[in-house]
Chain A
Amino acid sequence: MRTVSRSIKMLLLLFVIISLVVGCSNSNNNSNSMEKEKTPVNTPKAETPAEPEAPKLDPYEITLVMPGAPLKDHDLVIGEMNKILTEKINATLNLHYVDWGAWGEKTNLMFASSETFDLIFSAGWFGYTNSVGKGDYMAIDELVEEHGQAFLDTIDPEIVNAAKVNGKLYAMVANKEFAADKGLTLNKALVEKYNFDLSAIKELADMEPLFKTIKENEPEVTPFLTTGGGAPSASILDYGYYDILGDGPGELLRTGEGLTVINKVEDPKYMEYAKLMRKWYLAGYVNQDAATVGDTGPAYRAGKAFAQTNSYKPGWILENEKSMGMGLEVVQIATPFTSTTDATSALIAVSRTSKDPERAMMFMNLLYSDADLLNLLINGIEGTHYVVTDGNIIDHAPGLDSATTGYPVTMNWMIGNLPLTHVWVSEDPNKWKSYIDYNESAEKSRALGFAFNTEPVKNEIAATSNVEKEFKFVIVTGSVDPEEYIPKYLEKLKAAGSDKIIAEKQRQLDEWAKTR
């Protein structure tokens, strides 16, 4: 009896192991066979180089790498796009997503192992110059001339130049707003309750009486909810008062003339903001955990705060009142300003591992000229995901909303000639027109187009960024006394090599100015 039950057990165990192993190897076979299916698409290419101008192009699969996650109806939409693409440039699109959080590691490894792909998202705030420095992207000046005419026709040459590094173009900017204005977002209900006159506010310091009123009358509400990165010094000064000229210390004053790189920590304005925040912090206007807190969105939405800093563009209030579910008022403190970072806030670069950069460029050109194609990519399929209500205005298809749709809009700031796309009913109907006006009205930085190559001073930058981690957040949120801590911060920055970085920035900036 014992032996029987034992052998049954052994049999069961064997069965389980075998079925697991078989199941596992099956899935491997699948993925292998999928890869095999893919390869023949590429191989004929390698043997017979494409004649770019020839009327009949060989079929090619363009791989576009974007951050984010695949949407539910991804395959459906790509299928529709491929119909257009096959007809126009005999290509198909493989839209490959990499999670935001895994982006750095994964794309580094993809480049390191020379994985084949054609186009990849990048941005001034997302490591663009670094990747160019490492040689991940291909210089595309000639390609654009040859196959990217629609891109050149659409984008202001000054903005195209902003994406250049050392005089060479490495990426195509998405056509959207190229500037940002900075200021404070206020809870509209509270503004109305206390009848605040917002037109009187010109400077950050003018907010003080408002905070005082809120503090005295609304014990449940934090007058000024902020974070290390959202403190006025970090969000208003860094992008509206200085041009931060890429990574590392060394800034340019927005006002004035000339191209002298300064260290903002020594600037009187920096001290002024730090002192102001210190005063408010001690008075209890600022949340006491500001230096360490992460996501303040939920608390703000719950009505527990009066003011918050933000970065604005046309239609911001409308878009955010919807998503936050509350009335908002905006006080502008820094007027629209275009720096290299703003101009390069969404880029598509051509990977050096691309097998057919010309076809990739033809595809990008379509995204700047073919409204149908771009609308598919951004908004999904007409009838399935959206319906046209009036002219260029669209709404969710009947029975769907932004939560239930299989293709929610996520890429409407990342790629292509966005003014070609439809406008949603929830948005300003003149959205794209106002973007154009906004871009024109924005003050352009004297260093627009300068991109700092961090390579020669990367050790110093790493060292100063460690110092910054220690001091920046506590100083800008007013958590410590600036009179005592700013000199300390400065001293440590200098010890970490900030002067060397600033000198290098100055040198590169002067050189850049000569080539203009």
Chain B
Amino acid sequence: MKTNTFNMQWLLHLVFIVFVAMTLIPLLLVLMISFTDERSLTLNGYSLFPEKFSFDAYTFLFNDSSVILNAYLVTIIVTVIGTTLSLLLCALYAYPLSRKDFPFRTGLTFYVFFTMLFAGGLVPWYLVYTNLLGINNSLLALIVPNLLLSGWNIIIMRTFFTNTIPPELIECAQMDGASEFRIFFQIILKLSLPVLATIGLFTTLAYWNDWWNSLIFISNRDLYSLQYLLNKILMDINVIFNTPGNSNQTKLLTLIPHETVRMAMAVIGIGPIILAYPFFQKYIVQGLTIGAVKG
């Protein structure tokens, strides 16, 4: 009996070891390729243990660093401002929806819910941001469209507020003379750290990984985001190889960085965001357990 559970334990361990390996090895491979000598890469193919190490890819990237560093800066600024604004706006929208004494809550909830199901389509969406608001080619174009307010996040927050914050608490605060703003900023937000951290992580990732807004709205190279730079390489390759009858392929190919450089860019792209995880993790676990206890 005892050995049985022991074996089961090991089987489980094994399953998860394999799973972790499957997740980690590709990442490791990218890292190793970025350190491989270009020539030995073409001769031997991808390998976790390159024959010859080289820092050429990184030297190349940082010699021509203005583009990459600029993209880095853009992405960081957008992620920080975007996440902060997005969290604030989502919370400000979600909180009233969680209050039973708020008169228009069904209407406003439906308004958010509706946007989760239906969208206006690409062209009208583009027209609103470029012709009506005129924010193309600015940092706002990377912050506002698609990412700033997500109906999904608002609904999650509203549910969290409804389930974890007892209405009595708000009544108490009101009786003690606290204003609505004081209740929201000093009581509600303090109690909602887990959900803020969870949504914050989602939003940070969404901002960090976004390349679509750059593709659509940005034509000024100084405002390209990091992920767009990475994606651009893939898209360029796609166009060059998949257009038949293009006798100028060899000319266009010179525009594309070498394999090792692509991998080095991917490694740089993972960069700081990997550090954000441990920071948020604490709260996410907390968020999960709170949810579990309350059912």
Of the 9-residue stretches A92-100, A351-359, A490-498, which lies at the interface with chain B? A92-100
Which A residues are CB-close (under 8 A) to B234? 101
- Interface positions, chain A 322-344, Cβ under 8 Å from B, are 323, 341-342
- Interface positions, chain A 410-464, Cβ under 8 Å from B, are 410, 413
Q: Lowest 5 CB-CB distances: which A-B pairs, in order?
A: A101-B235, A302-B42, A125-B245, A311-B247, A101-B236
Cβ of B241 within 8 Å of any chain A Cβ, yes or no, is yes
A100:B239 contact, CB within 8 angstroms: yes
Given known A28-B135, A304-B42, contact A229–B242 (CB-CB < 8 A): yes
> How far is A300 from B252 in the complex, measured between Cα atoms in Å?
17
Residue of B41, B123, B135, B139 most packed against chain A (CB within 10 A): B139
Count of chain A residues with a beta carbon within 8 Å of a chain B beta carbon:
56
Cβ of B258 within 8 Å of any chain A Cβ, yes or no, is yes
Cβ of B243 within 8 Å of any chain A Cβ, yes or no, is yes
Cβ of B134 within 8 Å of any chain A Cβ, yes or no, is yes
Which B residues are CB-close (under 8 A) to A173? none
A24:B245 contact, CB within 8 angstroms: no
Which B residues are CB-close (under 8 A) to A105? 215-216
Spell out A's residues near B (CB within 8 Å).
17, 20-21, 23-24, 27-28, 31-32, 35, 68-70, 96-103, 105-106, 109, 112-113, 115, 123-126, 180, 227, 229, 234, 238-239, 244, 294-295, 297-299, 301-302, 304, 311, 313, 319-320, 323, 341-342, 345, 410, 413
Count, A-B residue pairs, CB within 8 A: 128
Of the 9-residue stretches B90-98, B124-132, B267-275, which lies at the interface with chain A? B124-132
> How far is A103 from B250 in the complex, measured between Cα atoms in Å?
19
B115 to chain A, nearest CB (A): 21
> How far is A97 from B218 in the complex, measured between Cα atoms in Å?
11
A169 to chain B, nearest CB (A): 21
Given known A298-B259, A302-B42, contact A102–B232 (CB-CB < 8 A): yes
Which A residues are CB-close (under 8 A) to B237? 101, 294-295
B243:A304 contact, CB within 8 angstroms: no
B131 to chain A, nearest CB (A): 6
Cβ of B137 within 8 Å of any chain A Cβ, yes or no, is yes
A35 to B, closest residue via Cβ: B134
5 A-B residue pairs with Cβ-Cβ distance under 8 Å, sorted by A, are A20-B81, A100-B255, A298-B41, A302-B39, A410-B255
B43:A304 contact, CB within 8 angstroms: yes
CB within 8 A of A98: which of B43, B130, B219, B244? B219
> How far is A37 from B245 in the complex, measured between Cα atoms in Å?
42
Cβ of B187 within 8 Å of any chain A Cβ, yes or no, is no
Cβ of B77 within 8 Å of any chain A Cβ, yes or no, is yes
CB within 8 A of A299: which of B42, B216, B251, B255? B42
A239:B245 contact, CB within 8 angstroms: yes
CB within 8 A of A125: which of B233, B235, B244? B244
Given known A17-B84, A24-B81, A304-B43, contact A113–B255 (CB-CB < 8 A): no
B81:A229 contact, CB within 8 angstroms: no
> How far is A294 from B126 in the complex, measured between Cα atoms in Å?
33
Which B residues are CB-close (under 8 A) to A227? 241
B232:A99 contact, CB within 8 angstroms: yes
Which A residues are CB-close (under 8 A) to B232? 99, 101-102
A451 to chain B, nearest CB (A): 13
B258:A298 contact, CB within 8 angstroms: yes
B259:A70 contact, CB within 8 angstroms: no
A301 to B, closest residue via Cβ: B42
A94 to chain B, nearest CB (A): 12
A20:B80 contact, CB within 8 angstroms: yes
B216:A297 contact, CB within 8 angstroms: no
A30 to B, closest residue via Cβ: B138
> How far is A98 from B218 in the complex, measured between Cα atoms in Å?
10
Which B residues are CB-close (under 8 A) to A341? 245
> How far is A112 from B252 in the complex, measured between Cα atoms in Å?
28
Q: B198-229, CB under 8 A of A: which get 1 and which 0?
A: 00000000000000000110011100000000
Other A-B pairs beyond A106-B215, A297-B250, A413-B248, 10, CB < 8 Å: A98-B219, A100-B235, A100-B239, A101-B232, A102-B215, A106-B219, A109-B123, A112-B123, A295-B253, A304-B43
